[in-house]
Each structure stands twice: as structure tokens, then as C-alpha cells.
Amino acid sequence: MVQLSSSSGKVAALLITIDTSVLIAVINNEPSKMAAVEITEGHDLVAPASVHWEIGNALSAMIKRQLISLEQADRCIAAYQDIAVRLIEVGLAEALVWSKKHRIHAYDAYLLQCAQQTKSALLTLDQALGNIAKAGGMKVLEV
């Protein structure tokens, strides 16, 4: 569990940029759910504004592949709406620099830009993305 102690001994909240992969794991009750909940408990979550649409895209892909039903997707959406995540507008030009430099998709670049912009740790299930973030000097939390 991520906990930072202040000089008063109280646990200080950590700002965490949360990846869509982690959100999907949590709302779809995947094996990494409990670890993700433990890591984020008591901390403030942020994500690029695109995460909202990425959740819809991921759920629609799961429906298309018949991995979940529409009813299950509805339950996932309800669970997602219960998670307190502050959506951040990221700089598109800056995100494209990440995209070009690391040859990654824009939605991954948005996460990196969000973490950099907010000076937050990145929580992702995507090891390659985590490695790019580490190389960029960011703190990466692992599930």
C-alpha cells in the first residue's frame, strides 16, 4: 500500500494518475482489483478527460467479443461512476511529443501528460507505459 508519512506522523494523500486498464480491472472485478483498491485507498485520483470515453470503448469491445453482456457493462458503468476521479484536460501538443518520442498511441500519451502536468504518480497495468514513465522521471505505482 502506498502511504506517505508527514512530519506529524499522519498519512499524506498521494495524487495518482490512474490508467484505464486499472479502472477496468476494478469495475470488472478482475484479479488485480483488490491490489488496485489497496494502493489507491485514501489517495486522490486524476485521469485525462479521455478516460471517460476509453471506459466506454473498452466495455464496447468486451461486449463485441462476448466477454460481458450489456447488463454486466451497465454494472461496470455504475461502479465506474462511483469512483472519485478528477478528469484533467491535458495539453494535446505536449501529449503528441510523448507520442512521437515513444511511438505510442495518443491515449497512452495523455496519461503520461496527465501525470507530468499534475506531478502525480502513475498507476497502470501496462508495463511498457510504466517503463516510459519511469524513464521520464515519473513515479510509477505497480499493482
- Domain hosting 110: range is 4-50+84-141
Q: DSSP state, 65?
A: T
- The residue behind cell 478482475 is 30
Q: What is the pLDDT of residues 71-127, one digit of tens each?
A: 999 999 999 999 999 999 999 999 999 999 999 999 999 999 999 999 999 999 999
Q: What is the CATH number of the domain that holds 132?
A: 3.40.50.1010
Single-letter code of the amino acid located at 39: I
Q: What pLDDT, on the 0 to 100 scale, is given for residue 9?
A: 42
pTM of the model: 0.88
Q: What is the pLDDT of residues 39-57, one digit of tens each?
A: 999 999 999 999 999 999 9
Q: Is residue 13 part of a domain?
A: yes
Predicted confidence band at 143 (pLDDT cuts at 50, 70, 90)?
confident
34-38 — which CB contacts under 8 Å span 24+ positions?
35/143, 36/123, 36/143, 38/1
Phi and psi, residue 17, nearest 5°: -85, 120
The count of structural domains within the chain is: 1
Q: Is residue 70 part of a domain?
A: no
Q: Please say if the pLDDT value at position 2 is more than 80.
A: no
Q: Is residue 59 part of a domain?
A: no
Cα torsion angle, 23, 62, 132, 96, sign = negative
Say how far apart CA 137 and CA 122 lie, in whole Å: 11
